[in-house]
Amino acid sequence: SGCITSAESVLITQQSHEELYKMLTFNKVTPTEQKLVVVSVSPQSRASLAAKCKMNILETAKKLTSFLKSLGVHYVFDTTFSRNFSLLESQREFVKRFQKQSEDKKALPMLASACPGWICYAEKTHGSFIIPYISTAKSPQQVMGSLIKGHFAEQQHLTPDQIYHVTVMPCYDKKLEASRPDFFSQEYQARDVDCVITTGEVLRLLEQEGISLPDVDPAPLDTMFSCIREEELTSHSGGGSGGYLEHIYKYAAKELFGIQVDTIQYKPLKNKDFQEVTLEKDGVVLLQFALAYGFRNIQNLVQKLKRGKSPYHYVEVMACPSGCLNGGGQIRVEGEASKDWLQQVEKLYESLRTEAPEENQRVDELYEQWLGGPGSARALRALHTQYHAVEKTSTGFNIKW
């Protein structure tokens, strides 16, 4: 993305599939100092690989698990699971902000926080103005980081630095997100996510090993931290960028106005990457939400905000046109029109049964066992983060951590 500094690009290149190789080789040659290697795969990456290999999602997941384990990976999880927490926390945060909008002028609109491309731009371009609007909920990648280096490490009787946690993401900016000092434990000198590899890099790993994914024997999926029910993977409704708008909208309609919303009517505005959803009752607008994908629409939104002309209560902001399924780290195929290709990926992504995060019993249990209930100080630390205004100086950027 355009706003990355040279120091940041070093951090990004430190995280690659080569790095993962190095760790796996280290484990083989020094078994006594072995680290536990955990890979968390995003649902967008799985859909991209499935389209490339012409397989369904479940097959892809099983074969990818098998391939990664053959390289020496110990556990393979699914970030759909951690997204449950991101969605639930975003929903609750929105309702709280809505209720205090009269005393806090920057409580609304709440802006989505899961896209590091957008966060990078917001911090560097509009720093202190925009930060108060951004939801503090961690992204699914970073919630997974908290789960693995917090809860999972404890269960395995390991310290966070004894686990090497890798995520597979549709996007290069996720590497930048994983490198943020906010997600680094000073105590253990360990990151919540040690290495991020893109979907394209997984394909390169396969190529380097001379393996074609369809030929791999499937392995059973790891059930902890995965959205699996009786051999079935589940997803969330509301599109390939996580479904934040939809989940927050439905929850808020019910909590704030007692209205049950079953289907959501999107109204495209200037283009398909800028859409609106409105809840009205007796001619009064109760909730007005929007999707703003791609920098053109983001700039437009920021200008509206600056002029005090934004009518929205919530905006799902994503840096990539068409959102995460079209992320810069996804697989591209030559000879196929990009629109058709994206449609295939979307179709696969949407082929799974969807489940509301409230319905996941394992998530409920973890709130109680791991975090001591929703809203606890522990939950706040594990599931929320902060942002930092970056001032441009004549010598570069000055970040206020």
Q: E strands within 259-345?
A: 267-268, 274-281, 284-293, 314-318
Helix (H, G, I), strand (E, B) or coil at 165: strand
Residue 171 C-beta: closest distance to ligand SF4, Å: 3
Q: Which is nearer to ligand SF4, 116 or 239 (CB)?
A: 116
Q: Which residues contribute to the site for ligand SF4 (CB under 6 A)?
A: 115-117, 170-171, 173, 241, 318-320, 323-324, 327
CB nearer to ligand SF4: give 170 or 200: 170
Q: Is the peptide bond before 109 cis (omega within 30 degrees of 0)?
A: yes
In the complex, minimum distance from the CB of residue 87 to ligand SF4, in angstroms, rounded to a whole number? 15
Residue 87 vs 324, nearer CB to ligand SF4: 324
Q: Which is nearer to ligand SF4, 98 or 341 (CB)?
A: 341
| DSSP element (H, E) containing 40 | strand 36-41
Closest contact distance (angstroms) between CB of 373 and ligand SF4 is 29
Cα–Cα distance measured from residue 257 to residue 172, given in angstroms and rounded to the nearest whole number: 40
Q: Give the residue with the Cβ less far from ligand SF4, 199 or 288.
A: 199
Least CB distance from residue 48 to ligand SF4, whole Å?
11
Nearest C-alpha neighbor of 278 from the set 265, 268, 291, 296: 265
Nearest residue (beta carbon) to ligand SF4: 327
| The amino acid at 185 | S
Q: Specify the residue, 117 or 150, whose C-beta has the smaller distance to ligand SF4.
A: 117
Burial class of residue 275 in the structure, from the number of CB atoms within 10 Å of its CB (0-12 exposed, 13-18 middle, 19+ buried) = buried
Smallest distance, ligand SF4 to C-beta of residue 126, A: 17
* Angle in degrees, CA 209, 170, 16, rounded to 5: 50
CB of 177 to ligand SF4, least distance (A): 8
For 5, the 3-state DSSP assignment is: coil
